[in-house]
Structure 1
Amino acid sequence: MNTSSGRADYGPTIVTLTMNPALDVSTSADFVCQTDKIRCSAARYDAGGGGINVARIVSVLGGAVSAVFPVGGPTGDLVTELVGNADIPYRRVAIAEPTRESFTVNERSSGEQYRFVLPGPRLTSVEQAKCLDELRYAARSAEIVVASGSLPPGVPSDFYQQVVDICRELGVLLVLDTSGGGLQHISSGVFLLKPSVRELRECFGRELATESEQLSAANELVDSGISQAVVVSLGSKGALLATPQGSQRFSAVPVRVVSGVGAGDAMVAAITVGVTRGWSLRKSVRFGIATGAAMLLTPGTAPCLREDAERIFELAPEPVDIAR
């Protein structure tokens, strides 16, 4: 049975899909050592997984958003409760196996961060079909769907192409941020792809060591019709944007890093919000860079602050055009 928040018929502008949500647990310790017991501080619990993270930041930025996700077991109940507590409308699909947990430990002595990510529950074909049905219902009046995160065990690699087909049927744009088979089995119809350099390398099976090689790979995705635009996130080096009209290099905004968790999802959220505001992709990606930087300022899996994102956006440099 599907259950939803009291605001399920909210009519969101943006709908997110998270096929492999997680209960994100974050804590800190003085030292992380093998074999020894590691005494940790009190844990922080957040609803996580790519699309849920995107929804949280879209909400922070003032966007109208709804989240679709499958959950099961006590961890799934807690994820649902946390999404509701964040005042995000949602549609959940109940599944038999329990939702996964992700665990992050920040080592105070070094500033290093250790992240442990589990594979997630196995979804049956019936549960997968229910997820697509709920997405179709939630997105019927939306402008953009954001499908973000890994595919859990049991879900075929072409699942996101089925999401593309639903979005095409509804006349809705799709922003896709995924990796592995979920990325490699997209054949057409995406509005915006947001791979990291590592994900782009895995997709093409090439090293892509230079900027020109990375941009060439991104342009291959555009020229083949897989996506109208590709944003390649470069971490501390910023991002590249490839479109049929041209390409740009975006510099990162340096900030004091507290935690790197969720910066990529924050970037996707802000780009999507920018597009719904009628901004150009050029401006939207610059907003994404700024919001990703704002996310680095927050502890653990806590969402960034809107005022930080807007302040950094004012400081973010304009992109540089790159010839093909």
Structure 2
Amino acid sequence: MQHTILDRIEPIAEDVVSLVLRGADGPLAPWEPGAHLDLAPPNWLTRQYSLCGDPADRERYRVAVRYDRLSRGGSEYIHRFLRTGRPLRVSLPRNNFPLLPARGYLFLAGGIGITPMLAMLRAAGPAGTLVYLGKSAATMPFAVELQARYGNRVRIVETERDGRPDFTALAAALPSDALVYCCGPASMIEAAEAAFPADRLHVERFQPVVRTFPPNTAFDVVCARSGDTVRVEADMTMLDALKFAGHPVQSGCREGICGSCELSVLSGQPEHRDDLGAAQGRMYPCVSRSTSDRLVVDL
């Protein structure tokens, strides 16, 4: 974890505040467009937020937080109780949504989904264009800033006034060597997935996709470094079983979308239930399980 001080907190749109975090112990860890971090407010909750500042600025991080009226305590605490000068712990940046090399980019953002796109659009230069959707201009953080900086490379769509853009038409006009990056509500991502080729579309979700899996079964996890064997019962997550056995694993969302609990798998067959697409030899124990009776992990 890194230690920061809340340098500035200010409203930037309806129900959205911007947080600028200054490194308390010197330069902060580097990051690349698409990265996010875990922020741990004093209420013992950990939440994930996309970095939306300048990657070249090693002195400060910037994130934006929308107040969720169904908040489980994270956004509510930040909006109502967090004050300038407060020490805050943050994780090292992680990137599950990297900007891959391409000759052109179309960025699609909905609401607070604009946050990872800010650094991406900056990095893409003239090769990138943005379509930014929101109910109204008042609800859309950074809209004025984006139009002032990028002009006609940015299209602001107020859906209450303009309706939703035609993603099929956008797909038809997309150059063959361009990639599409999309972050926003589930309905927007579903529309993008229906319109754009899967091999050119990259998405980041707020919530996991609802899917059906086989019934849970019990299995054993062997912690390779200690030699301990931990039983994961059918009614328990692997993450919790490890924690209760004295092998806590860092975690954040507990929904398989942030990547903070990643473990290396040395043998056995994981049953991947995450939305990140775990790399070979990796798994996320907050949601994933095992199809083999025994799983060996680097722990």
TM-score, structure 2 length as denominator?
0.34
Q: Which has the larger radius of gyration?
A: 2
More helix by share: 1
More strand by share: 2
